[in-house]
Structures are given as structure tokens and as C-alpha cells.
Amino acid sequence: MPPDLWLDDILSGKAASPPASATLPDKPVIWVDADAMPRPLREVVINAAERVHIDVLFVANIRLRLPDTPLVRSVQVAAGPDVADDYIADNARAGDLAISQDIPLAARLVPMGVHVLQTSGRELDEASVQEALALRDLKEALREGGEMTGGPPPFGNRQKQLFANALDRWLTRSLGT
């Protein structure tokens, strides 16, 4: 199967993974861990994709309603822990961008050369992903011990703007836009 045909299939969700002989185009792809992504950020990512003509794949274990555009696709994976994460880790390549709040997923992707942007606008690299993983583990232990309750602060316009700015910076660096 020619590479451009399997890419169309994977981007449309018809193919679960690329054939071994396939090669991806040189342009990076944005992979979105969409299960827990704030809805306002979908709009930011979609608008950016259309502005700079870059492919975006939203990966989730539910069916997503996305605009009908050839640049924005969704892949629905089976329900279960880390299934969307595994799909992204198995298909992303060096130079791509993954958008996720999932620190263990980021810890898998960063050593592969995949750029990771959190929905807060924080870009993770090799040093910061290890720091974030340690902090995540500490917070989990504190929650289990009853010493820490609650979750992240509410998502608002400030967070949306921080994310949009960080995405634009990545697009500029990666595509020269």
C-alpha cells in the first residue's frame, strides 16, 4: 500500500497502525490525547492546523465530533486504561507534537524525540518530564494518604491563551510559520 494511502487510512481511523513498509511524510503531525482535553483547546488546535496546514489526530476512546476537514481526523480506540496513550506512543515519530496532560505518556514520548505540550502550555523536555513524573508520583502519594485533596484549578481563558501561545511557538519553531 503506498504511504499516502495508509496515512489517509490511519488519519481517518480506518487503519489501527501503519504497515511496516510505510513511511510518513516529512511534515510533523500533531497527536492529541483527546480523552481529557478541555473542549476549548480543541478549537485552538483545529484553527492552528487549518492556518498552517498541518495534520492533527485526536485519539480518544469515544467518538469525537470534529469539523469535516482533511487536516483534522480522529481515531477511536478501544476503551481501557492507556489504550489511547499506547496508540499515540506506537505511531508518533520524532519531530511530531503530542498534546497531553498524561505525564507517563510524555515520559514515553520525549525520549523518542516527540515534542510534548501540556494543556497548560508547558512544553516538556527530558529534564522537565522527569521532574513532572516525580511531582506526579508525590501528589499521588499525598492523595492516597489523605493529605491532599482536590484536582487542578478550573480551566479558563487565561489557560486557553497560555496554551495557544505555546502551540504557536512550537509551530513557528517546527514549521517556520
Tens digit of each residue's pLDDT, the chain (177 residues):
333 444 555 555 544 444 332 344 578 999 999 988 999 999 999 999 999 999 999 999 999 999 988 999 999 999 998 899 999 999 999 999 999 998 899 999 999 999 999 999 999 988 877 676 666 666 676 667 777 666 667 788 999 999 999 999 999 999 876
| pLDDT number for residue 60 | 95
The sheet that has 115-117: what strands, in order across it? 72-76, 56-60, 30-33, 97-99, 115-117, 123-124
pLDDT of residue 2: 35
- Where are the domains positioned within the chain? 3-175
Q: Provide CATH code, domain 3-175.
A: 3.40.50
Size (the chain), residues: 177
What is the pLDDT at residue 17?
A: 44
Q: Is 29 exposed, middle or buried (0-12, 13-18, 19+ CB in 10 A)?
A: buried
Supply the pLDDT for residue 27: 87
Read off the amino acid at residue 112: M
- pLDDT at res. 24: 45
H helix or E strand, kind and range, residue 116? strand 115-117
| Position 67, amino acid | P
Give the pTM. Answer: 0.77
In the structure grid, which three cell numbers stand for residue 58, read together? 485526536
pLDDT at 22: 35
- Cβ-defined contacts of 74-78 (< 8 Å, 24+): 74/13, 74/34, 75/10, 75/11, 75/13, 76/13
Q: Which residue has the cell 491563551?
A: 161
